[in-house]
Structure 1
Amino acid sequence: MEKIVSRPTNESLGKPARTKRVPVMMTEDEYERIAAAAQAAGLGVSTFLRICALNAKPPST
């Protein structure tokens, strides 16, 4: 069976493949809020969370 891809892969764009997963548990309400924010930004949930995590500054200690 041939795999149908609706968007370019990272490899075809010359970027490293994403091979790691980070399972995160959350409530249904948390997920719905994140999914709504991702949709409002025109992003998928994974992309939205990745951008938020990598652009956030850690709290000062």
Structure 2
Amino acid sequence: MKKLVLPFMFVAIIVGLFEQSKDKPNIYILCGAIAVFMYGMMQLSGKTPSKHQEENEEKDDE
């Protein structure tokens, strides 16, 4: 999944930057690029473990 998310995020960044550089950018394309980028960041950061994950697990066990 990570292999698919990264290219989509880079494409969204490029499309967003290209669209923003126009004289009259299309707001729907910009919103779509931002949504794709934020979804990709959510997917990637969801797999990152918390710093305090072990502490939280110990508290849950008690």
TM-score of the pair, normalised by structure 1: 0.29
Higher helix share: 2
Larger of the two Rg values belongs to structure:
2
Which structure has more relative contact order (CA 8 Å, sep 6+)? It is 2
